[in-house]
């Protein structure tokens, strides 16, 4: 693991998720840029002293010299955005597979360089777009894939947070500080942080790619360097249209992610606040409520359910589902055994590239003067 020491939030989430199925063991780490925190964090996780590293360069170089079967198999990168590309590229150059937080890099150019290296090496990369790991998200995708709702016409996706309603980055909030810093986060703030999640969810569930967009980004909190609010009109490859909202200044909201997809015959609705439920609405009959853990679900949804119906499954389990699919794929590659399983999927480099392109195009659209029609009377 690169990053994710005891002073970080997301590292512990990754470790819990990776460990959920007994397929993955943490064997080494460069857990912080602070030497003391890196060492202390490694010891608190009971890592061997000689495999607690203080830089990712040292870790990747020394691990690459260990005999096969002793060295690490892959690297998980859980650093802020600006520190994704360099360790990912070095890991690939040294022959290690990669798991990386989203967005994959801070530029489309960097993401494409990773793709070139993956194509060259044949290694595997997993991007942790968490929400695609929920079983009812996978059920929604299957319903649309099997044309149950007919041709998709309209997609609404919203991600509303309120945690940046104040200038928290100047009040000692470390998460806010780096996420609102262009040098560490990239060219977008809220749209890069949570807007990319919303865009990925829309494409993942619908099975459709975004082809055009019209965006407006706002800096609501005075003094902030990057957008904290935005809306995007979307066009999809089959002619469907959509609306994406991503805001971090909706005071009182937590991580309120929701998606609604409408086809010719009906629509579906999923809320992360109630992740075990998928609501399916019909044009000519009563609505249906699909629930996680039930026998009537699709094979891929059932494969990603972990408890009997009625037991809540959430963020950690969704993360674990991504790690499980990645681990199963990687084990087959390491053992050189055939593996093709239609109930196993995880976000890849292609999703990472589309995420970076989304950020680029949203910023470009926002800066354009050729999108608004004056509302004259």
Q: What is the CA radius of gyration of the chain?
A: 21
Q: What is the spatial order of strands in the sheet that 256-263 belongs to? A: 210-218, 229-236, 241-247, 152-160, 256-263, 266-271, 277-282, 288-291
Beta-carbon contacts of residue 119 (< 8 Å; ≥ 6 apart): none
Which domains occur in the chain, in start order?
10-123 (3.40.50.720), 136-309+353-364 (3.30.360.10)
Q: Reply yes or no on whether the pLDDT at 369 is more than 90.
A: no
Query: pLDDT by residue (tens digit) across 308-350?
Result: 999 999 999 999 999 999 999 999 999 998 877 889 999 999 9
Burial of residue 134 (number of CB atoms within 10 Å: 0-12, 13-18, 19+): buried
Q: Comparing 100 with 369, which gets the higher pLDDT?
A: 100
Tell me how far apart the alpha carbons of residues 229 and 246 are, in angstroms, rounded to a whole number.
Answer: 6
Residues of the chain above pLDDT 70, percent: 99
Query: pLDDT by residue (tens digit) across 133-172?
Result: 999 999 999 999 999 999 999 999 999 999 999 999 999 9
The pLDDT value given to residue 182: 96
The pLDDT value given to residue 372: 65
Tell me how far apart the alpha carbons of residues 118 and 193 are, in angstroms, rounded to a whole number.
Answer: 24
Contact 355, 196 (CB under 8 A): yes
Give Cα 316 to chain centroid, integer Å: 13
Structure tokens at 229: 């609010």
The pLDDT value given to residue 370: 79
The pLDDT value given to residue 277: 98
Q: Reply yes or no on whether the pLDDT at 374 is more than 90.
A: no
Q: Reply yes or no on whether the pLDDT at 241 is more than 70.
A: yes
Q: What average pLDDT is seen over the chain? A: 96
The pLDDT value given to residue 371: 75
Q: Reply yes or no on whether the pLDDT at 373 is more than 70.
A: no
Of 103, 133, 150, the C-alpha closest to 359 is 103
What's the Cα-to-Cα distance from 291 to each of 7, 29, 138, 223, 270, rounded to whole Å? Answer: 37, 39, 12, 44, 11
Q: Reply yes or no on whether the pLDDT at 109 is more than 80.
A: yes
The pLDDT value given to residue 376: 65
What's the Cα-to-Cα distance from 152 to each of 141, 157, 285, 305, 322, rounded to whole Å? Answer: 12, 14, 19, 26, 26
What mean pLDDT is predicted for residues 270-291?
97
Beta strands 256-263; 266-271: pairing state:
antiparallel
Query: pLDDT by residue (tens digit) across 10-48?
Result: 999 999 999 999 999 999 999 999 999 999 999 999 999
Q: Reply yes or no on whether the pLDDT at 82 is more than 70.
A: yes
Which range is least confidently modeled, 86-90, 351-355, 371-375?
A: 371-375
The pLDDT value given to residue 375: 59
Count CA within 13 A, CB hemisphere, residue 276. Answer: 15
Structure tokens at 22: 């007994």
Contact 98, 91 (CB under 8 A): yes
**Distance linking the first and last C-alpha atoms of the chain:** 59
What mean pLDDT is predicted for residues 270-281?
98
Task: State pTM to two decimals.
Answer: 0.95
Burial of residue 105 (number of CB atoms within 10 Å: 0-12, 13-18, 19+): buried
Tell me the torsion sign for CA atoms 350, 15, 139, 262: negative
Tell me the torsion sign for CA atoms 349, 8, 182, 212: positive
Of 112, 248, 262, 269, the C-alpha closest to 192 is 248
């Amino acid at each position: 693991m690169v990053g994710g020491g005891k002073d970080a939030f997301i590292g512990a989430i990754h470790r819990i998720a990776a460990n959920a199925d007994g397929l993955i063991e943490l064997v080494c780490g460069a857990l912080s840029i602070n030497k003391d925190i890196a060492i202390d964090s490694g010891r608190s996780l009971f890592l061997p002293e000689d495999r607690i590293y203080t830089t990712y360069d040292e870790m990747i170089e020394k691990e690459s010299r260990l005999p096969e079967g002793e060295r690490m198999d892959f690297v998980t990168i859980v650093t802020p955005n600006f520190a994704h590309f360099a360790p990912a590229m070095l890991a690939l150059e040294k022959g290690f597979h990669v798991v990386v937080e989203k967005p994959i890099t801070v530029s489309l150019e960097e993401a494409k360089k990773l793709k070139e290296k993956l194509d060259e090496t044949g290694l595997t990369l997993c991007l942790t777009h968490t929400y695609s790991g929920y079983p009812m998200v996978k059920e929604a995708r299957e319903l649309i894939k099997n044309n149950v709702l007919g041709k998709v016409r309209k997609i609404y996706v919203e991600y509303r947070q309120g945690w940046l309603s104040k200038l928290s980055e100047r009040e000692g909030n470390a998460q806010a500080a780096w996420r609102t810093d262009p040098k560490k986060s990239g060219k977008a703030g809220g749209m890069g942080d949570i807007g990319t999640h919303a865009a990925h969810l829309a494409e993942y569930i619908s099975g459709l790619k975004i082809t055009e967009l019209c965006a407006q980004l706002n800096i609501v909190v005075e003094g902030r360097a990057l957008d904290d609010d935005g809306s995007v009109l979307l066009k999809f490859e089959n002619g469907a249209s959509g609306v994406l909202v991503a805001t971090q200044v909706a005071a009182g909201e937590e991580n309120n992610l929701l998606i609604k997809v409408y086809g010719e015959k009906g629509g579906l609705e999923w809320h992360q606040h109630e992740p075990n439920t998928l609501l399916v609405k019909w044009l000519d009959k009563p609505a249906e409520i699909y629930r996680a853990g039930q026998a009537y679900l699709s094979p891929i949804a059932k494969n990603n359910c972990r408890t009997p119906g009625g037991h809540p499954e959430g963020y950690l389990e969704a993360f674990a589902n991504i790690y499980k699919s990645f681990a199963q794929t990687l084990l087959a590659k390491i053992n050189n055994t055939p593996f093709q399983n239609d109930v196993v999927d995880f976000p890849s480099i292609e999703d990472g590239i589309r995420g970076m392109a989304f950020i680029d195009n949203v910023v470009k659209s926002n800066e354009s003067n050729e999108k608004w029609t004056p509302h004259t009377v």
